[in-house]
């Protein structure tokens, strides 16, 4: 473990979601993530209810590895940033406890500046302070 600043890590994490250019986005992801890092997303309630109704007992979606996470970020950027005119920002409340960093984030309209959503992020870091597990809770 290093003494990496948790707020700096949170800010870089949020920034990767809004990088418009694919090569720069990939570079940002590679700097943050362990090669086999896993992103877990608690889906919205309606998706969890549909999954439960279909007999699924898991309530999390996941992307494992840098390539899968890059796809996740690219699609999120396309849908939320490019098409919906949204951006993301950190809640400036990042804290670190050993290998865990916790922070909140907000989804903001670029047109009005209005906060339209947000959530909670919990990152588990490896010995090089790269993300090995990311637990995302939208709406938290």
Domains of the chain, start order: 6-138 (3.10.450.50)
- Residue 29 to residues 1, 81, 123, 124: CA-CA distances in angstroms? 19, 17, 14, 15
Q: Can you tell me the distance from the alpha carbon of 127 to that of 2, in angstroms, rounded to the nearest whole number?
A: 8
pTM of the model as a whole: 0.88
Q: What is the pLDDT of residues 95-129, one digit of tens each?
A: 999 999 999 999 999 999 999 999 999 999 999 99
Pairing, β 61-64 against β 33-41 = antiparallel
The region, left, alpha or beta by phi > 0 then psi within -120 to 50, assigned to residue 57 is: alpha
The mean pLDDT value for 42-60 works out to 76
Q: Can you tell me the distance from the alpha carbon of 96 to that of 13, in angstroms, rounded to the nearest whole number?
A: 14
Residue scoring higher pLDDT (48 or 76): 76
Q: Can you tell me the distance from the alpha carbon of 6 to that of 96, in angstroms, rounded to the nearest whole number?
A: 6
């Amino acid at each position: 473990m290093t003494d990496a600043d948790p707020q700096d890590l949170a800010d870089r994490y949020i920034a990767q979601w809004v990088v418009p250019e694919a090569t720069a986005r990939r570079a940002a992801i590679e700097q943050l993530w362990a090669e086999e890092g896993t992103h877990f997303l608690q889906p919205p309630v309606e998706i969890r209810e549909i999954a439960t109704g279909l007999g699924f007992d898991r309530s999390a979606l996941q992307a494992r590895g840098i390539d899968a996470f890059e796809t996740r970020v690219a699609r999120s950027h396309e849908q939320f940033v490019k098409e919906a005119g949204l951006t993301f920002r950190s809640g400036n409340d990042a804290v670190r406890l050993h290998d865990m960093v916790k922070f909140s984030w907000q989804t903001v309209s670029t047109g009005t500046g209005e906060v339209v959503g947000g959530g909670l992020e919990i990152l588990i870091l490896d010995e090089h302070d790269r993300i090995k597990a990311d637990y995302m809770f939208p709406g938290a």
